[in-house]
Structure 1
C-alpha cells in the first residue's frame, strides 16, 4: 500500500504556488476592480437614472435608452461619423504603416534617418499636430492651397468643407502613424528568412510570399494594430474637437467649446464628443452614462469581430 504523503505534499505545493501567484497579481487585480469594474457598474446603474451631478440620482428605468434610440437628434449623426473613422481611418493607417515599414526594411543606406523621419510626427502632441494641420490646409492663404493655386489646381476648403473635413483628418492620421510603423518594422524584421527561402524553392513569387509567409507571421501584430486602432477610433475626440474649434475661427473667442464641436455642419461630431456635450455641457450625466454603456457594448462587439477576422491570417488558417 502506497503512502499518501507524496500526494499531500504535491497538493500543498500547488496551493502554495497559487497563493503566491494570487499575491503577486493582487495589486493588478485590485486596480482592475477599482478603476474598471466598479466604474463600469456605476455607469450601468446611472444609465437608468436622471442625474445632473448636483442632486441625487432619480430612477427612471429605460427612458434614457428610449430617448437615445428614438429622439436624440444628433446621436446617429455622431455615430455615423465615428463609424466612418473606424471603417476608413483605421485600415488606411494600418496599411500605410505596414507599407512604410516594408519599404524601410529594404533601405540600404540612411535607414536610420528615414526611420526617424517617419517616426518623429508621432511624438508631436495631438493638439499641436491638429493646429499645425489646420494652418497648413487653411482655405485662404494656407501653404497647401498656395502651392495648389500656383500649379493651377483647385483649392479645396479642407477642414471647412463638410465633405473633406473627415478625409483631412485621415491625412493627419497617416502623418502620425509612426508609432504603428515602428511595431510593424520590428515584426517584419523578425520574420525568419528561412521561410522566404523555402517559399522561393517552392516557386512562390512576391505576392505568394507576402500572403503565405509575411501576413501569417505578423498576424498577431496586425491584430494588435487593428484592435487598438478600432478602440481609439470609437473614442475619437481630441483631433476632431480641436480641428472643429480651430477651423471655425472661434478658438479663444470666448464662446463655449460645445458650440463649435462638429464644425463644419456636424461633419466632425463624433460619438465621444456628443457624450461629452450631453454629460458636461448639459449636465445630463444619467443620459451620458447610457451613451457610454452603448459605446462599451459596441466596442466589445467590434473587438470580437476584429479578432475573428485577424484569425483568418493565422499560420494554421493560411496552411489549410
Structure 2
C-alpha cells in the first residue's frame, strides 16, 4: 500500500504588518525573502491612528494643508520612499479607522492572506495585564503568524518544532517539514514530572523519558511525509519546563526558527495559566505559530426509531 504524503502549498499571499519604525525592518526583509522563495504576493498594512489635520482659524487653508498633509498621504509617501513598495510590487493598505490589531486582521481576511509576518522588539513580549498588538493578532488570527526577531541572513536552515503530542502539534510538524524542505528539523518534547527534583536519576524518570521518546517516534512515523523526510527528523526529550528547554536548545544549537501549533481556540487562550504564553515569550529567535485546521464535524445522522 502506498504511504500517504500530505502536500502543503506555500502561502500565496503574505501580509507584512509594519509601524514604519526600524523595529520592523527585519520583518520586512524576511517577508521579502519568503515572498521571493514562494513566489507569493506581498501585502503591507499600516494603521494610521491619528486625527486628520484641522485648519486653525485665521490661517490660509491651502498653505496649511500643504505643510500638514493628510496622514494617509504622508504614510504612503514614507512607505514608497523607505520600503520601496513600488519596486517590490507590493500592495499597500493604510487604515485610518481601526486600531493596529483589528486593521491587520481585517486586511488578512479581506485579501485572503495565508501568512501574517510581524516584527517585534527584544523587550518582553507580554505585559502582565495589557494585551498588545502582537498578542491580539496571534490570538485572533485565522492564519499562521510568523514573528521575526532575528536579522534574516539566509533562508531558515535549522527548525525546532515543539510538540505536546496533540493534533495541533502534528499539523505544525507536517507544515514546517513540507514548507521548509531543505531545513533540518529537531522535534522536541519537554516534560516536567511531579517532584522531578527528587527523581532526576531514578529509574522512574528514565522510564518516563523512554516512553516519551517512543511517542515522538510514533508521531514522526504517523506524519504524512515522505520516508526520506521522516528519516531526516531528529527527536529529543528534555526534562524541564517547555519554555526553558526550547530556549536552551535554541541558544546552544542555533535553531533559527521555532515552530509550534496554535490551537483553533487561540494560542493564548490559556495566557495566564498555560504554557503557550510562556513559550512564545521565552523564544529568543523567530517563531512560527501554525494555525491548526479545524476538522469538519461529522454530519448529523438521525437515530431511527
TM-score by length of 1: 0.20
> Comparing both chains, which one has the higher relative contact order based on Cα–Cα distances under 8 Å and sequence gaps of 6 or more?
1
More strand by share: 2
Structure number, greater radius of gyration: 1
TM-score by length of 2: 0.21
